[in-house]
Amino acid sequence: MQEDKGELVLRNLWYLALPSGALKKGKVVGRTIAKERIVFGRDAEGKPYALRDNCPHRGVPLSQGNLLDNGTIQCCYHGWEFDSGGVCRKIPALPPESKADVTKIRVPKYPVVEMNGTIWIYLPDKLSPNIEPKEPVPDLHLGAGETLRHVECIVMPTNIDHSVIGLIDPAHVTFVHQSWFWRTAKSLKLKTKNFEPIPRGWKMVRHAPSANSKGYHVLKGDVSTEIFFDIPGNRLEHISIGKSNKIISITTLTPIDDHRTELNHFFYSSLAITNWLWWPLKSLGRTFIGQDVGVFQKLAKGLENDPPLMLVGEPDAQARWYYELKKQWRAAQEQGTEFRNPLQAETLHWVT
């Protein structure tokens, strides 16, 4: 089976924009997401917002301007000011007696949500005033007072599709993630995993962690894990420890353009010992992600030839599911119908 050749970026969905800590109050941050230049800021109350990163006057990036105390962005070229809704509030060059209604000048605004230490942006199929998101934000499986810690941010040298396939591919673990702290090439086992559909993806049904994965061995007591994937590119692992503790590991993929994808990894733990071991854990997480980046740099080189690609057997089943979900999502958006997940419960087998 060949890779999907349809639209790369799915619209009317939420994408991870940046960790909360990367958007300081009083500062603006410019990002490129799905080839769209976007500026982020915080209003006077600290709530994040996102606007198209161009002043409507002469097109200068607003991210090159200043965020004033009242939360408005001031363009660096002529000082035009725009509030968190994208409404122009001041044009300094206009004389005091001017009757021009500057509030009719608008910069397109994106819906933004901040939760659990992360900031998400909704990418509509068409940028227009007063956009109402058609989909709920991703379920991070965390309470309102639980905050994720940011582990790493890396740019993958491949498009969103190849990055997602790498994220959900179980077979590469055998060759890419051989480490003393995870598993060795001598510890291969046949895995049997049960999967069920969720609204915008699927989950690997809760199970005991793999016996040949050393990373789980430090956890004591009754330990089980459940892994979720939903479009456009979010993988979440929920580890339960005993009756009251949990660990959440989240990896998000945000397309930059047709050739680059940003990967962010977050971590939450209710275990007190995590605070003492945070830096060693963060270092191990970076090592794990770095192994992926290394092989993806090689993949990007190979893709320069635009070779024919294929998906084979049960190890590649999740990749086929991803492409089918994309196909059905695009069809639902084009036809204006409700998206229905076409996947069914299934059991897969592979060796890692």
Q: Provide the CATH number for the domain around residue 298.
A: 3.90.380.10
* Structural domain boundaries enclosing 187: 149-351
Predicted local distance difference test score (pLDDT) of residue 209: 82
Q: What is the mean pLDDT of residues 79-91?
A: 98
In a domain, 140, yes or no: no
Q: Number of structural domains, the chain? A: 2
| CB of 223 closer than 8 Å to CB of 209 | yes
d(CA 262, CA 77): 30
Q: Is the peptide bond before 232 cis (omega within 30 degrees of 0)?
A: yes
In a domain, 4, yes or no: no
Q: 209, 140, 181: which is closest to 277 by C-alpha?
A: 181
In a domain, 233, yes or no: yes
In a domain, 247, yes or no: yes
CB-based contacts of 23-27 (< 8 A; 24+ apart in sequence): 23/48, 23/119, 26/67, 26/69, 27/67
Looking at 75, 105, 123, the residue that finishes a domain is: 123
Q: What percent of the chain clears pLDDT 70, i.e. is strictly above it?
A: 91
Instruction: Return the SS3 of 40.
Output: strand
Query: Is a pLDDT exceeding 60 seen at residue 153?
Result: yes
pTM for the model stands at 0.91
Whether residues 259 and 317 share a domain: the answer is yes
Handedness of CA 60, 64, 66, 67 (dihedral sign): positive
Q: What is the mean pLDDT of residues 218-225?
A: 74
In a domain, 132, yes or no: no
Whether residues 155 and 291 share a domain: the answer is yes
Spatial CB neighbours of 170, under 8 Å, sequence gap ≥ 6: 191, 315, 318, 350, 352
Q: What is the mean pLDDT of residues 71-98?
A: 97
Q: What is the mean pLDDT of residues 200-222?
A: 73
Whether residues 82 and 25 share a domain: the answer is yes
CB 277: neighbour CB atoms within 10 A?
13
